[in-house]
Structure 1
């Protein structure tokens, strides 16, 4: 994926099998990056099939996922100590 700068459909299926919610997060990330807030899941699927999702987009997606996971964990820790 990093070598050619694109995410192949096979790469994406590997991610989705491990992280099922990643498609929704990828759609939100691609909408923000492209500025196309009307981008649909079907259009995103077409982009994935054509290899139009960049590795840079995936890096941003991972940063968002890491931040969201960290926030959830901090919330759980805080709630468990109250």
Structure 2
């Protein structure tokens, strides 16, 4: 599995989802609709909780971190609108 989702059945609740990341950039004054992030950069913003690591503070869904190196607790989120 290239995305390291060994327990994909556990992804049914939002708190069990892996942390996600996007390229870290400065904030602009203009608002964007559905921004895609920067095209360049090294550091990534890591958003959300992780079941693999974490203190009590880091287990919050609003937790933020940053990094360059790959990590086994980073992934992506799949979502769709409820019918």
Q: TM-score, normalised by structure 1?
A: 0.32
Instruction: Give the structure with the higher percent strand.
Output: 2
User: With structure 2 as the length reference, what TM-score do the two structures score?
Assistant: 0.32
